Amino acid sequence: MSRIGKKPVAIPANVKVSVANQTVTVDGGKSKLAFTCKPQITVKVDDKAKQVVVERKTDDRQSRALHGTTRAIIANMIEGVTKGFSKELEIVGVGWTVVLQGQKLVLNVGYADPKEVMVPPGVKVEIQQLKIKVSGPDIQAVGHLAAVIRAQRPPEPYNGKGIKYSDEVIKRKQGKAFAGGAAA
């Protein structure tokens, strides 16, 4: 049995979890998330114990794989509506800028034309000079938007320029070495 999947997920006092058909809905007051489970998985809400229990119907390979994954997704949904998730990115480059225009993020990162990234609904973007903070209740949407922003100009190892996560360490490489002696 899945060690992660068999652990029940505790429900905080201000969160409501409901299951209709195969759709699990988590409502935290400010935000609401929904997830549709696969038919091999059964999700039950125990109101007395204030916890969510995830079970699988069969013991085949796919059911075992989905068991722990479904439990982790539900746990992330509950954490997302209570605390939220965030990722921070830094822009490293001379003269590079970032501007938020409504739901569009405009990045001037060394290309001839500015790169534009659309911000999905439910995700909040804050900009402080050359730092971008992406936050929201859905861990998948926050991580995906941060990855899309980083992909516009990934950091390169020679000069260290690019868009990187704030906790990311860029392994630097030495550039070309010139011969100090006679010309060939």
pLDDT interval class at 123 (50, 70, 90): very high
Count of domains observed in the chain: 2
Q: For residue 65, give every residue at least 6 positions away whose Cβ sits within 8 Å of its Cβ, in sequence order, or none.
A: none
Q: Domain with 48 in it: what CATH number?
A: 3.90.930.12
- Reported as type and span, the H/E element at residue 86 is strand 85-92
Q: How far apart are CA 135 and CA 117, in angstroms?
A: 15
Structural domain contains residue 171: no
CB neighbour class for 19 (10 Å; exposed up to 12, middle 13-18, buried from 19): middle
Q: How far apart are CA 124 and CA 144, in angstroms?
A: 13
Same domain assignment for residues 116 and 61: no
Query: Does position 64 have pLDDT exceeding 80, yes or no?
Result: yes
Q: Containing domain of residue 64, as a range?
A: 9-82
Structural domain contains residue 106: yes
Same domain assignment for residues 14 and 78: yes
Q: What are 135's two structure tokens?
A: 């936050």
Helices 61-82 and 139-151: crossing angle in degrees, nearest 10, is 90
Q: Residue 153 has what pLDDT? A: 94
- Where is the domain boundary, 82, 115, 139? 82
pLDDT digits (tens, 9 = 90+) for 17-57: 999 988 999 998 888 999 999 998 999 998 888 999 999 88
Q: How far apart are CA 87 and CA 25, in angstroms?
A: 24
SS3 for 90?
A: strand
Same domain assignment for residues 21 and 61: yes
